[in-house]
Amino acid sequence: MTLHSEQAEFPPQSRNAVGAPRRPSLAAWKTTAARRMRAFAPVFVLVALCILIAIANPNFIELRNLIRIANAAAVPLTLAMGTTFVILMGSIDLSAEGAVAIAATTLVLLAANDSNASNFGWWAVLAAVCASGFMGFLSGNIQTGLRIPSFMATLGVWFIGLGVSTYLLGGSAVRLMDPALRGLALTRFLELPLSVWIALAALAVAIFIQYFTRLGLHIVAIGGGEDLAELSGVNPRRVRIAAFTIAGLFYGVAGVLAAAQLGQSNSVIGDGRLFAAITAVVVGGTALTGGEGGVINTLVGVLIVTVLGNGMVLLGISPYIQQTVQGLMIIAAVASSLDRLRLKIVK
Amino acid sequence: MLAAQSISKSFTGVQALRDVSVTIGGNEVVGLIGENGAGKSTLMRILSGTQSPDSGTLTLDGKPLRLRSARDAARNGIGMVFQEQSLLLNLTVAENIYLGQEGEFTRFGLVNWRAMRKAALRQLGKIGVDIDVTARTADLSFAARQMVELAKALTLEDSTNCPLTILLDEPTSVLARADIDILFTRVRSLKARASFVFVSHRLDEVLQVSDRVYVMKDGLIVGEYRADKVTAPQLHEIMVGRGLHSGYYKEAQQTPPRPAVLLEAAGLGVSGAFRNVDFSIREGEVVGIAGVVGSGREELTRSLGGFLPQTSGSLKINGNAVRLASPEQAVKLGVGTVPRERRTEGLVMFLSIASNITLANLGSVMANGIIDHRRERSVAKEWLKRLRIKAPNVDVACRKLSGGNQQKVVLARWMTAGSRILILDHPTRGLDVGAKEEVYELVRELSAQGVAILLLSDTLEETIGLSHQVLTMRDGEITARFEAAAGQKPAQVDLLRAMV
């Protein structure tokens, strides 16, 4: 049967009888408009922030400073790409710092370093990213296999990663001696360090996964309602393990970049990075309940967090106040992004 | 032809289905009716693969069929349109229609969105609706979502070679009259390409759309009729299946209400749920509300309990005009709700009997801001005795009590809180016969003490038996009022006429 004969079964006037969105009611239009406004709010915040800081200190818009911002955003952006996929499912991933530590440690111990004789060059990068990916795979299996909330599963994996890497490093810092790998942070291409280009590549991969693949659709579907997605034939377990593994791979890349920037790996290489990643995701407008937002939101979120940090340094604000402002920002972001009246219970 | 033979299924002691056999012929619309708990939903879940039977078999065109998941069922041409809709509101219409079946548009994990949108448009064309496939599902009306859900079920036509069977679980309970008519038109025209199983509370609708009707009661099929050979009142009688015994509802203990009016509603309404509701409850009066799902009676009780603020009309409690904005406020004004879901809404299951009883009026057992546990226990002991709650002591956690005793603890709480108006929302749901009788006796006692009671019940006979006055609701409005003094109870058929 062809399309035309099927549609001809009904007279044209009855075909729009059901409330189709092409003729939306005023109320429906208002909620749509309100949602659009909310979706674009982070962009407005970013633009306003840039304008305000530029007025207060014109040095902000100097090329040198913009490069500095891009450089500072590279590792958080790569990390937050991973976290975004997990949060999109309505789960949370706390393992970023542990995974970064594992990746950085694997890298320095397998590449040329001042502690042992190994010199595997780029293979060390591959091993580092895979090791971190394995941590994510572990998180996903713990969460789905043992049916533990992701909060606890990834909290555990965080500390496993931290413990193992500190043990491997023998409690001290090991320096990265491979000049090619150090070059990731030091070599520049079109004024920008390679690490920035790698972070942008990570962003491109993340956009590709979310918007062009079946996996991306399934991740968003699970965030919207896992039980419903399962009824439609989505395999939540497989999707969850895949998402956590992908997150781990992104953390691995971030760990490599962090080690290259620092020129070493130590037990505190991941410190503070988890907060930055989750703040960026949330500030960008991805809902903690899952299903809304995505990697482009996270890009905006990372820029807001980095620009704010950079601006406060330019304005000479005390680092302690900077922390306080970041704390306020994450609360404000969640407060403004949620339709809190609709939440029945807050836990 | 899809058939179920001698299907049985039980859940922790409750026999949900007993030796149930049904057949669904090709291009046939089969109606399935029954009261709450009759086993309709369980049967649907077994047919759709989300639950497996304890015993019995499914066959498709004579060949045995084992369904382990919804996906299995889909592979065999069985699709389901769920009562609580199964669309993901954060996805687009096209994504929803093909979620889990993206295979034909996917290569190396990459989805060809354009092809998917085109295919989704074709599916919607099958039922003749014009919906933007790129719209977010959350932006669609409920009726439009139902059509999308139907279109999603019809995709099975392309993915399997089996004859299509679509299970519609209470599809009309959330739709307005005009949308129901549209749905029925679609179902009739789709009969040429699929069979349907149609579950509903509304008997006239089942008769209107079905070729054949099964009646279920207590997990059994108690009747099978051709839709043109049976009437709605006949079906109802078979569905309820027992005569009315006046003794069962303690009619002899029914005392006439006192003149003082405790609660008075005038033109009360909540937009989208019910409107123009006028009624009053006097001291010691039991007012029952009868209506099918979607009649607005559930929302009315929620509104009186403070869970759903009124949007029009006025409400007087003890003669004072009030607007109930929260359950807390309702409790302060003396309105207590005995909710339908005891386990999740009625009691804090892991707290002791004593704590649960004093929960709504902690002030009475507090001294200087500290809970006096001795006083709390003595208050609770008093109620244990008065309401004949069977428990070893008042420190037992409520989850260890039987359903009937749990219900008594809820009642004791409202008595402690000094509630003079009680909303009983299906107070005997899930209770066995003995426990039901005890609840009936308590209702009589409370009424004799002057408590005003609004009653919603699972069965019509219970509503009639317990009430002084019965109101019937349909489509959000009160359609009739029946006096139900002891010995002069109205007939079920009369009520039914005003309900459906």
> Could you read off the pLDDT of B122-148 as tens digits, one per residue?
888 888 888 889 988 888 877 788 888
Q: Is A289 on the interface with B (CB under 8 A)?
A: no
Does the pLDDT of residue A342 top 60, yes or no? Answer: no
Question: CA nearest B77: which of B237, B240, B196?
Answer: B196
B253 with B139, same domain: the answer is no
Question: If you write DSSP's letter for every residue of A172-184 in order, what string do you get?
Answer: S-EEB--HHHHHH
B188 with B301, same domain: the answer is no
Q: What pLDDT score does B12 carry?
A: 61
Chain A closest-CA separation from residue B143 CA (Å): 6
Q: What pLDDT score does B488 carry?
A: 81
Q: What pLDDT score does A258 carry?
A: 92
Chain A closest-CA separation from residue B91 CA (Å): 7
Contacts of B106 in chain A (CB under 8 A): 214
Contacts of A224 in chain B (CB under 8 A): 88-91
Contact yes or no for A137/A161 (Cβ under 8 A): no
- Residue ranges and CATH numbers for the domains of chain A are 66-337 (1.10.3470)
Q: What pLDDT score does B256 carry?
A: 87
Q: To 10 degrees, what angle do helices A63-88 and A214-224 make?
A: 70
Q: Cα angle at B305 between B303 and B307, to 5 degrees?
A: 60
CB pair distance less than 8 Å for A231 and B122: no
Contact yes or no for B207/B213 (Cβ under 8 A): yes
Closest residue in B to A28 (Cα–Cα): B139
Judge residue A7's burial from the number of C-beta atoms within 10 Å of its C-beta, 0-12 exposed, 13-18 middle, 19 or more buried.
middle
In this structure, what token pair is assigned to residue B320?
């004072």
Specify the DSSP class assigned to residue A299.
H
Contacts of A228 in chain B (CB under 8 A): 86-88
CB pair distance less than 8 Å for A233 and B70: yes
**Single-letter residue type at B56:** G
CB pair distance less than 8 Å for A214 and B139: no
Given B240, B272, B295, the domain boundary residue is: B240
CA distance A252 to A103: 5
Given B177, B209, B240, the domain boundary residue is: B240
Closest residue in A to B140 (Cα–Cα): A21
B168 with B51, same domain: the answer is yes
B412 with B312, same domain: the answer is yes
B117 with B207, same domain: the answer is yes
Q: What pLDDT score does A8 carry?
A: 35
Among A232, A234, A237, which would you mutate to test the B interface (most chain B Cβ atoms within 10 Å of its Cβ)?
Answer: A232
Question: Per-residue confidence at B246, pLDDT binned at 50, 70, 90?
Answer: low
Contact yes or no for A279/A295 (Cβ under 8 A): no
φ, ψ (nearest 5 deg) of residue B198: -120, 115
A residues 224..243 contacting B (CB < 8 A): 224-225, 228-234
Count of other CB atoms within 10 angstroms of residue A65:
18
Specify the DSSP class assigned to residue B80.
E
Closest residue in B to A31 (Cα–Cα): B139
Per DSSP, what are the bridge partners of residue B29? B196
Name the residue among A19, A22, A234 with its Cβ closest to that of B99. A234
Kindly give, in sequence order, each residue whose CB lies less than 8 Å from that of residue B382, ignoring residues fewer than 6 positions away: none
Per the confidence metrics, is the pTM higher than 0.90?
Answer: no
CA distance A42 to B92: 23
CB pair distance less than 8 Å for A6 and B87: no
Contact yes or no for B354/B371 (Cβ under 8 A): no
Contacts of A16 in chain B (CB under 8 A): 130
B250 with B235, same domain: the answer is no
CA distance B102 to B96: 10
Name the average pLDDT for chain B.
84
B38 with B144, same domain: the answer is yes
Chain A closest-CA separation from residue B174 CA (Å): 14
B236 with B263, same domain: the answer is no
Task: Tell me how far apart the 2 most distant CA atoms of chain B are, in Å.
Answer: 77
**pLDDT per residue as tens digits for the range B317-326:** 988 898 888 8
A residues 15..34 contacting B (CB < 8 A): 15-22, 24, 28, 31-32
CB pair distance less than 8 Å for A217 and B126: no
CA distance A78 to A96: 11
Name the residue among B89, B111, B182 with its Cβ closest to that of A18. B182
CB pair distance less than 8 Å for B131 and A217: no
Chain A closest-CA separation from residue B72 CA (Å): 9
CB pair distance less than 8 Å for B131 and A24: no
Contacts of B131 in chain A (CB under 8 A): 18, 20-21
Kindly give, in sequence order, each residue whose CB lies less than 8 Å from that of residue A217, ignoring residues fewer than 6 positions away: B91, B95, B99, B102, B111
CA distance B235 to B212: 12
Q: To 10 degrees, what angle do helices A194-212 and A214-224 make?
A: 70
Q: What pLDDT score does B201 carry?
A: 67
Question: CA nearest B406: which of B416, B414, B398?
Answer: B398
CB pairs under 8 A between A and B: 111
Given B222, B240, B258, the domain boundary residue is: B240
B194 with B252, same domain: the answer is no
CB pair distance less than 8 Å for A16 and B130: yes
Show which residues on chain B lie within 8 Å of chain A, measured between beta carbons.
50, 70-71, 74, 82, 86-91, 95-96, 99-102, 106, 109-111, 122, 125-126, 128-132, 135, 139-141, 143-144, 147, 152, 178-179, 182, 185, 189
CB pair distance less than 8 Å for A6 and B129: no
Instruction: Count CA atoms closer than 13 A to A154's CA, side-chain side.
Output: 25
Chain A closest-CA separation from residue B94 CA (Å): 12
Number of domains in chain B: 2
Contact yes or no for B236/B488 (Cβ under 8 A): no
Question: Per-residue confidence at A339, pLDDT binned at 50, 70, 90?
Answer: low
Q: Is A9 on the interface with B (CB under 8 A)?
A: yes
For chain B, percent of residues with pLDDT exceeding 90: 14
Per DSSP, the three-state class of B16 is strand
Which has more pLDDT, A15 or A311?
A311
**pLDDT per residue as tens digits for the range A301-325:** 999 999 999 999 988 888 888 889 8
Name the residue among B111, B129, B141 with its Cβ closest to that of A212. B111
Which has more pLDDT, B169 or B280?
B280
CA distance B390 to B402: 9
Phi-psi region of B432 (alpha: psi -120 to 50; beta: other; left: phi over 0): beta
Chain A closest-CA separation from residue B264 CA (Å): 29
Kindly give, in sequence order, each residue whose CB lies less than 8 Å from that of residue B366, ignoring residues fewer than 6 positions away: B372
CB pair distance less than 8 Å for B131 and A20: yes
Count of other CB atoms within 10 angstroms of residue B478:
23
B373 with B440, same domain: the answer is yes
Q: What pLDDT score does A306 carry?
A: 93
Question: Of all helices (H) and strands (E), which one includes residue B445?
Answer: helix B433-448
Chain A closest-CA separation from residue B182 CA (Å): 8
B286 with B159, same domain: the answer is no
Question: CA nearest B263: which of B446, B450, B472, B442?
Answer: B450
Contact yes or no for B167/B44 (Cβ under 8 A): yes
Question: Per-residue confidence at A251, pLDDT binned at 50, 70, 90?
Answer: very high
Q: How far is CA A262 from the centre of its chain?
A: 21
Q: Is the dihedral of CA B429, B435, B439, B440 positive or negative?
A: positive
Question: Per-residue confidence at A22, pLDDT binned at 50, 70, 90?
Answer: very low
Helices (H) and strands (E) in chain A, counts: 14, 4
CA distance B145 to A18: 9
Bridging pattern class, strands B469-474 and B312-317: unpaired
Instruction: Give the CATH number, domain containing residue B89.
Output: 3.40.50.300
Name the residue among B100, B131, B178 with its Cβ closest to that of A232. B100
Contacts of A217 in chain B (CB under 8 A): 91, 95, 99, 102, 111
CB pair distance less than 8 Å for A292 and B90: yes
Q: What's the domain range around B144? A: 2-240
Query: If you search the block for the tokens 């409850």, which residue do you land on?
Result: B281
**pLDDT per residue as tens digits for the range B249-279:** 777 788 888 889 999 999 999 888 899 999 9
B226 with B287, same domain: the answer is no
